[in-house]
A and B are shown apart, each in its own frame.
Chain A
Amino acid sequence: MSAVPESAAAIASAVGSGELRAVDVVRSSLSRIETLNPVFNAFTDVTADRAMAEAESVDAAIAVGADLPLAGVPFAVKNLFDIKGLVTRAGSKINLENLPATTDATLTTKLCRAGGILMGGLHMGEYAYDFTGENAHDGNCLNPHDPGRMSGGSSSGAGSAVASGMVPVTLGSDTNGSIRVPSSFCGLFGLKPTYGRLSRHGTFPFVGSLDHLGPLARSAQDLALVFDALQGRDISDPAQPDRPVLSTGGELVKGTDGLRIAVAGGYFRQKAEPEALAAVDAVANALGVSAEIDIPEAARARASAYVITVAEGAALHLERITNRPQDFDPDTRDRFLSGTMVPALWVQQAQRFRSWFRAMMRGIFEHVDALLAPATPFSALPSGTKTITLDGETMPARPNIGLFTQPISFIGLPVVAVPVWLEEASLPIGVQVIAPAWREDIALRIASRLEQDGTCKAPVAARRAELVSQGT
């Protein structure tokens, strides 16, 4: 068998041309999962038998001339996605008592129809209320670039599995930053599409007003390949409007010529460690960007998202948090308990402010095509970190890792998180490339350009000697 390429695009090309068999790709992925998962704890369920059966089907289809854009590409999903035959964990203990899912989530089905191979379900923070990758029930998911540090969350396994090379692509969810934070900490390209772009049917929710799904990968091309396969109307998701599909794969070659790009100033230049600002500056320099635009009221946007999240999340879990709080992860339990006590008026004003902030940002996007901002205030924190100090202010770590992601998802703008390795840095850090609503193509073009010129890269982490000998 030929060596299995690391990227989804290369795998799909090789399998599609018959140069490589999907069953060999899957065996390679299973081997890496078997070796590396005990180290990083990225997978909670491995669907090995299903994966082999799907790979055989893909090989048979290719043999008779099928055209499958994701032929033989192994992928895995955050364990809030329904997987037929498995209980949908959502990172919890309580949901393990539910019946197994009878069908896959819509997005899983779409990837499998495109030739993708589902490898299993991935670790996450309980009920997605997390930025760390720590989970009292399942243990901590670790960062492949430094197992002493957080993977980031709540799509923790989605970050760790791709960064360690177990699979080239994963699907996560992002309510306040849960794709972009692990992308930053694990050094990946992550796409949080426009709110309403991708169907959420068949996934366990957190905050319906703010929940998004999207892919994590190690290249902009892989993000585009998967994003194009994920799109399409699904009337089962009440938040999905009837929009035309945006084909992005062919757009990447356009580069950034003609795009007006600016650095997000004000709020997005405060409460950040030097590496976060340096990463934004490195990206801006590579793109020849010198303009900086203040984003008015970003702090209020973040505060509004905070209020909506705690109240709407608590409403979802009211029966569970009322009757069996002891079965929650302590780190989410106390936040959900507090969310049951939020006055309705606080939430309503936050939702009204959301409309105001959206209108204001639409005005900014009349003058620019994209904005650059840090994805996280710092590189991956050591596991167990409880407090952080930013601009001299000490605050709880868990809710504040998403300081810079939260105002953006609040109004549903599409973002590609791009990974930067600063000179002599031992850890990556992400930068948000923020585009106007429904223009994922712009963010992906910029990400691709940054990848092409070497400003951004997402190498497989597990190449250290002790892991190479076991994992390949």
Chain B
Amino acid sequence: MSAEFDANSHVAHMEKIMGLAIEDDWRPVVEAHIAATQKAAELVLSFPLGEDIEAAPVFEA
């Protein structure tokens, strides 16, 4: 994953795609939260998972 995650740009882009209404005083907190999530995801994605490892969805057909 790119080390250059720009939370501000990500939020500005995604709020249009998702049709969100983010007020100005909420924005820095939303940006901080997505930055924290990206940091967590970076840790997850940096782990070398084998191709045989599947998710375990709870679904019975």
The answer, yes or no, to whether A147 is at the interface (CB within 8 Å) is no
Residues in B21-51 with C-beta less than 8 Å from chain A: 21-23, 26, 29-31, 33-34, 36-41, 43-45, 47, 49
Contact B47 A353 (CB under 8 A): yes
Q: Are B19 and A306 closer than 8 Å at their CB atoms?
A: no
For residue B3, CB closer than 8 A to chain A, the reply is: no
* Residues A315-366 near B (CB distance < 8 A): 321-322, 325-326, 330, 333-335, 337-343, 345-346, 348-356, 358
Find chain A residues with CB under 8 A from B38 CB: 346
Query: In the complex, A353→B56 CA distance in Å?
Result: 10
Q: Would B47 and A306 count as touching, CB distance under 8 A? A: no
Give the complex CA separation of A209 and B56 in angstroms: 10
Interface residues of B in 1-31 (CB under 8 A from A): 10-11, 14-15, 18-23, 26, 29-31
Would A350 and B47 be within 8 Å (CB), given that A338-B30, A340-B18, A355-B56 are in contact? no
In the assembled complex, A307 has its CB within 8 A of some CB on chain B: yes
Taking the closest CB of chain A, its distance from the CB of B23, in whole angstroms, is: 8
With A310-B33, A310-B37, A338-B34 given, is the CB distance from A304 to B58 under 8 Å? no
Q: How far is the CB of B61 from chain A (nearest CB, A)?
A: 12
Query: How many pairs of residues, A versus B, come closer than 8 Å at their CB atoms?
Result: 109
Q: A337-B30, A341-B14 are in contact. Are A355 and B44 (CB under 8 A)?
A: no
A348 touches B37 (CB 8 A): no
A253 to chain B, nearest CB (A): 35
Contact of B44 with A349 in the complex, beta carbons under 8 Å: yes
Q: How large is the interface on A (under 10, 10 to 19, 20 to 34, 35 or more residues)?
A: 35 or more
Check if A334 sits within 8 Å of B40, measured CB to CB: no
Main SS class of interface, B? helix
Q: In the complex, A310 Cα to B30 Cα: how many Å?
A: 12
Checking B21, B23, B29, B44 against A307 with a beta-carbon cut-off of 8 angstroms, the contacting residue is B44
Nearest B-chain residue to A333, judged by Cβ:
B26
Determine chain A's interface SS by DSSP, over half rule: helix
**Which residues on the B side are within 8 Å of A208 (C-beta)?**
58
Contact of A338 among B19, B37, B53 (CB under 8 A): B37
Inter-chain contact B34/A346, CB cutoff 8 Å:
no
Asked whether A238 lies within 8 Å of B44 as measured between CB atoms, the reply is no
Kindly identify, within residues 300 to 319 of chain A, every residue whose CB is under 8 Å from any CB belonging to chain B: 300, 302-304, 306-307, 310-311
Assess the B37–A342 pair: CB atoms within 8 A: yes
Q: Which residue of the partner chain B has the closest CB to A334?
A: B29
Mark A174-218 against chain B: 1 for CB-CB distance below 8 A, else 0: 000000000000000000000010000000000011000000000
Supposing A342-B37, A356-B53 touch, asked if A238 and B58 sit within 8 A by C-beta, the answer is yes
* Minimum distance in angstroms from B18 CB to a CB of chain A: 5
Closest CB in chain A relative to B41 CB, distance in Å: 4
Q: Nearest-CB distance from B33 to chain A (Å)?
A: 4
B16 CB to closest chain A CB (Å) equals 11
Q: Which residue of A lies closest to B18 (CB)?
A: A340
A228 CB contacts on chain B under 8 angstroms: none
Question: Max chain B CB contacts within 10 Å: which of A196, A209, A334?
Answer: A334
Q: Are A338 and B44 in contact (CB under 8 A)?
A: no
The residue in B20, B41, B49, B54 that gathers the most chain A C-beta atoms within 10 A of its C-beta is B41
Chain B residues, CB < 8 A from A352: 49, 53-55
Q: Is A297 in the interface zone, CB < 8 Å from B?
A: yes
Residues of A within 8 A of B19 (CB): 322
Could you tell me the distance between the alpha carbons of A399 and B59 in the complex, rounded to whole angstroms?
29
Which of chain B's residues have a CB closer than 8 A to the CB of A351? 55-57
User: Could you say which residues of chain A place their CB within 8 Å of the CB of B14?
Assistant: 340-341
Q: Which residues of B contact A337 (CB under 8 A)?
A: 20, 22, 26, 30, 33
Given A341-B18, A353-B49, A354-B55, is A334 in contact with B11 using a C-beta cutoff of 8 Å?
Answer: no
Nearest-CB residue, chain A, relative to B19: A322
Complex interface: chain A residues within 8 A of B10 (CB): 341
Report the separation of the CA atoms of residues A300 and B42 in the bound assembly, to the nearest whole angstrom. 10
Contact with B along A258-299 (1 / 0, CB 8 A): 000000000000000000000000000000000000000101
- Interfacial chain A residues near B29, Cβ < 8 Å: 334
A447 to chain B, nearest CB (A): 28
A358 to B47, CA, bound (A): 15
Give the docked Cα–Cα distance between A399 and B19 (Å).
26
The smallest beta-carbon distance between A458 and chain B, in angstroms, is 34
| Besides the known contacts A303-B41, A310-B33, A399-B36, 9 further A-B residue pairs in the complex with CB atoms under 8 A apart | A196-B58, A238-B60, A299-B43, A307-B40, A337-B20, A341-B10, A346-B37, A346-B38, A353-B47
15 CB contacts below 8 A, A to B, read A303-B40, A307-B41, A307-B44, A310-B33, A325-B22, A335-B33, A337-B22, A338-B34, A338-B37, A349-B41, A350-B44, A353-B44, A353-B49, A354-B56, A356-B47
The 3 closest A-B pairs by CB, nearest first: A338-B33, A351-B55, A303-B40
Interface residues of A (CB under 8 A from B): 196, 208-209, 238-239, 297, 299-300, 302-304, 306-307, 310-311, 321-322, 325-326, 330, 333-335, 337-343, 345-346, 348-356, 358, 396, 399
